[in-house]
Structures are given as structure tokens and as C-alpha cells.
Homo-oligomer: A and B are copies of this chain.
């Protein structure tokens, strides 16, 4: 059956190919199918991830078919479904329970659907892969929406020295700081300034447009600090550029995405290739 192999498919699709999907509404903008399929290929698994454009009203129908299709092994969940779908799976992992949002679901051996959230773990992995740890650092998280909550919960588990949470919606930042308090030294920050911090993480969409201001002032930010932006497009935001000009280390949004893909493939129990096992 190798006559017409398509060179470069994750592996050539056959009747044995396992299926994964990313659910969202809209879906056309997601870049992750390309990245997941590259990672599946690197891990040498006969699987493919496809985008599925599903509205909120149809999530239940999609989950029913996910349960029914026997070679359909996992779901990645994106906007606007992460919160709603958390109530529709059979078990929710510890991080998803803390933040009330699921971004990946796997089917276990008995067919139960297990959901968890890897937005924060992906962030930590992406930053770590670039040689940066967050332990004992003074970290400012800008934005207390879905991404900010996931990232802040993951950061607080890394035992920073201190952590500030800023949002233009002060009610939201107050609530997130309160929610983080049992896990570590988190506090609400009332001004949009990085003064006194040595790590800044932008978890807002500010920076996507050329005319956007900086998400925070860098006055008083530590020399040689670390700046991380979760914005994907453009890859180099104004925040990262201005940070780099001040001698800061910078990590782009794509690395959080790459970290998520790796963390989710691990959750899906797709093994690393043998040659990489001790890499």
C-alpha cells in the first residue's frame, strides 16, 4: 500500500489513522493544526489533528460523536468553548478545576472524557525552554481574563517571590489576586507599571495592532528583566521590542503555543520518539 505515499503527511493517512480535533468558533484563524501535525510527525504517531468549526449550541452534539467515533482520541478546545465544555466532560483535572476552563480533552481506556487545562503549563514550558525560571522572581501579570488566569495560576505554582496582577477592570484583577492567594504571594496591582518587577507577562491582546500602546509602562522595570508576550501576531510586539532595547530578555507568544502543544501531546499520551527520550 506504499505506492502512493504522500511524503510528509504526519504519516500517510490510512484506515488506522487516529483522529484529534481543535474546536472553536471561529476556527479559520487558528495556527495550531499545522503545529500539532508537525509534532505528531516528530513523535512518529499515525494521527492527524483537524480543525472543527463548532458553535456553542452544537458542543453537545460534537461531544456525543467524539464519544462515539472509536478512533477519535482527543480534543483541543479554544475560544469561546473552554468554560462551557468544562461542565460537559466526565472528569476535570486539577488545573482546569482551579481556573474553571478546559482546553484539552482525552478519552481514557473506559471511554470517559478527561478535561484539563494546559494554557499555563504551556506558558511555563515555553519560558523554561528559553532558559528562564520564575522561582523567586517578582512577576507582573497584565490581564486577568481567560489567558491571564491560566498563566497566573501556573506562575504562582512556580513559587515566585511576589506576583502582581493588573487589569483595567480592577474588579477582575482583585478577584484573580484573591483566588491566587491560597497558592502564593499574589496581590492586585492598581497601576499599569512594571516598576519594581523583574518579569512582565502580557496576557492581553494589546500589541496586536501597530497603533496599540504598551500594555504597561516599563519605567523602573529591572535591568536585565524578562518580558513575555502571549500575542502571536505580530511575533515581535512593541513591548518585546522596547524591552529588548532596554537589555531585557524576551520570549514570544509562539513559544507559549509550542509549550502547550508539547504539554497537550503528553496529556494525550502520545509518546516522545525513542531517540528523544532523554533529550
Contacts and interface: CB of A to CB of B under 8 A. Distances in A.
Given A6-B8, A8-B7, A13 B50 contact: yes
Q: Which of A15, A27, A64 has the most CB of B within 10 A?
A: A15
A1 B34 contact: yes
A247 interface: no
Contact of A1 (B8, B31, B53): B31
Contacts of A17: 33, 50-51
B55 A71 contact: no
A275 interface: no
B52 A69 contact: yes
B51 A14 contact: yes
A67 B38 CA distance: 29
A113 B149 CA distance: 42
A12 interface: yes
A33 B4 CA distance: 11
A181 interface: no
A251 B57 CA distance: 49
Given A14-B34, A30-B15, A65 B70 contact: no
A15 B55 CA distance: 15
Contacts of A55: 68, 70
A71 B53 contact: yes
A7 B41 CA distance: 12
B58 A13 contact: no
A15 B19 CA distance: 16
Contacts of A54: 68-70
Interface string A133-163: 0000000000000000000000000000000
B69 A37 contact: no
Contacts of A61: 61, 64-65, 67-68
A61 B37 CA distance: 26
A183 to B, nearest CB: 34
A35 interface: yes
Contact of A52 (B8, B28, B71): B71
A42 to B, nearest CB: 11
- The 6 A-B pairs with the shortest beta carbon distances in the complex, nearest first, are A8-B8, A65-B65, A58-B68, A15-B30, A53-B70, A13-B33
Given A19-B50, A48-B48, A58-B68, 8 more contacts: A8-B9, A13-B34, A13-B37, A15-B22, A15-B32, A48-B50, A55-B68, A65-B65
5 contacts: A9-B10, A14-B34, A27-B71, A53-B70, A54-B70
